[in-house]
Amino acid sequence: MRSDYVTSYYAASAHPAPERSSLAGRVDCDVCVVGAGIAGCSSALHLAERGLSVVLLEEHRVGWGASGRSGAQAIPGVAAGQAKLNRMLGPATARQVWEVSVEGLALMRELIARFRIDCDWVDGHMLTAVKARHERELQAELAELRDQYDYSGVHYLPREELRALLATDRYIGALYDTNGAHLHPLNYTLGLAAAAEQLGVRIFESTRALSFGAQGAERVRVATAHGEVRARFLVLCGNVYLGATAPELRDKIMAVATYIVATEPLGGDRARQLIANNAAVADVNWVLDYFRRSADHRLLFGGRVNYSGLRTFDAPGATRARMLRVFPQLRDVRIEYAWGGDVDITLNRAPHFGRLAPNVYFLQGFSGHGIALTGIAGKLVAEAVSGTAARFDVFARIPHANFPGGAAMRRPALVLAMLWYRLRDLL
């Protein structure tokens, strides 16, 4: 059964998109892709570009999941951070991961230009420090980015300079990355899907991939409620919603809910007063606040995570309270939209890419840091399916453990772990 988009600012401002039919009967193709978020749409697009016939299955609508609800701050790197990757993988591999992620931003710019995707792209990202410890961390990160990664376009904004750009006293400095950006994530995902269709991809909505299995030595059969896809390759991009379709992947990620509120339109002047350079902003806390202006002059503010899995607490109220902690001057402003979505965190916060069989690939574990990485991940999967797996395998070799505690205990264990990190934010 199709679920329409959750009510959000993005759904309300989405460009018209066709409602694709569900799959009925059998289709044959080179590659079946499951999940039409950015990862799935980008995989499909890049596979089609290489001349492969592609079928993309989406249980709900294109961009229904995290990709259509995201804070949409496009930033390089991975959620684990480069220092951790260095320790885990060694400097050479950590650098390869970094370079792919930077290419991810360039790829977004290229796709948006090439396919004329109208998605409110704005350059600029600021990572802010709330306390002296954060400032030291950001200075160390800046030195690392410049010295070890030759990453230019990033500089430190001391308090006074930052205060001229951001109308809040909460932050004492920021790392300003001119290469980072923000955008309308649902319109971007819809644009990628339309581009993939231009290249011949067949997209079926309201179609859940229920299961898959080998069909002879070299083919895979994907079962849906009213049909099946037979393909040479399968690419799983279902993120936290994949569930029982691929139980082997489930224990490596945990769904963590995060929430965003959108204010009523503030008018150009008032919006510009809040964030003068129109950059996206996030702080460096573990439970972080992230916010930006929208094209129609709202503030979009995300700032609450829920590790418990309980949906009963007042997420819009809690998120608004966090917004007012940053911008108390918005007390009179009405919240017009509030929505949430799940991010797919891995235990080590590194992305989880790999194969379940020689012809079954998967992309998951973006850990809340997937807007840019999902797109380039789709390109890496297309390279691998076409026989050049070197870049995909850099990621596929990253080791991942299951969340401890088994099905019953893993969420309580995570809640305890997160309590520790939240306490650390307060120090």
Ligand X SMILES: Cc1cc2nc3c(=O)[nH]c(=O)nc-3n(C[C@H](O)[C@H](O)[C@H](O)COP(=O)(O)OP(=O)(O)OC[C@H]3O[C@@H](n4cnc5c(N)ncnc54)[C@H](O)[C@@H]3O)c2cc1C
Indicate which single residue of 302, 303, 351, 354 sits in contact with ligand X (rule: CB under 6 A).
302
Is 370 one of the binding residues for ligand X (CB under 6 A)? yes
Least Å distance, CB 341 to ligand X, is 3
- For residue 289, list its beta bridge partners: none
- By beta-carbon proximity to ligand X, the closer residue of 82 and 374 is 374
Q: Which of 128, 206, 306, 374 binds ligand X (CB under 6 A)?
A: 374
Q: Which two tokens stand for residue 66?
A: 């995290």
208 interacts with ligand X by CB under 6 A: yes
Instruction: Determine, following the binding rule CB under 6 A, whether residue 69 of this chain makes contact with ligand X.
Output: yes
411 part of the interface to ligand X, by CB under 6 A: no
> Applying CB under 6 A, which of residues 20, 60, 95, 304 lies at the interface with ligand X?
60
Q: Among 29, 31, 33, 36, which residue sits at the site for ligand X (rule: CB under 6 A)?
A: 36
Residue closer to ligand X by CB (options 91, 304) is: 304
- Count the residues of the shown chain that bind ligand X, applying the rule CB under 6 A: 42
Question: For ligand X, which residue of 11, 45, 66, 126 counts as binding (CB under 6 A)?
Answer: 66
Please list every residue from 223 through 282 that binds ligand X, using CB under 6 A: 237-239, 241-242, 245, 258, 260
Out of 9, 27, 45, 73, the only residue in the binding site for ligand X (CB under 6 A) is 73
Of 53-61, 92-100, 172-180, 271-279, the segment contacting ligand X by CB under 6 A is 53-61
Interface segment toward ligand X; rule CB under 6 A; list 100-108, 303-311, 363-371, 380-388: 363-371
Site for ligand X in 132-161 (CB under 6 A): none
Task: Return the ∠ at Cα 216 (arms to 215 and 222), rounded to 5°.
Answer: 10
Please identify which residue in 20, 59, 86, 380 interacts with ligand X, judged by CB under 6 A. 59
* Contact set for ligand X, span 318-347 (CB under 6 A): 341-343
- Contact between 37 and ligand X by CB under 6 A: the answer reads yes
- The residues binding ligand X (CB under 6 A) are 34-40, 57-60, 64-67, 69-73, 75, 208-209, 237-239, 241-242, 245, 258, 260, 290, 302, 341-343, 366, 368-371, 374
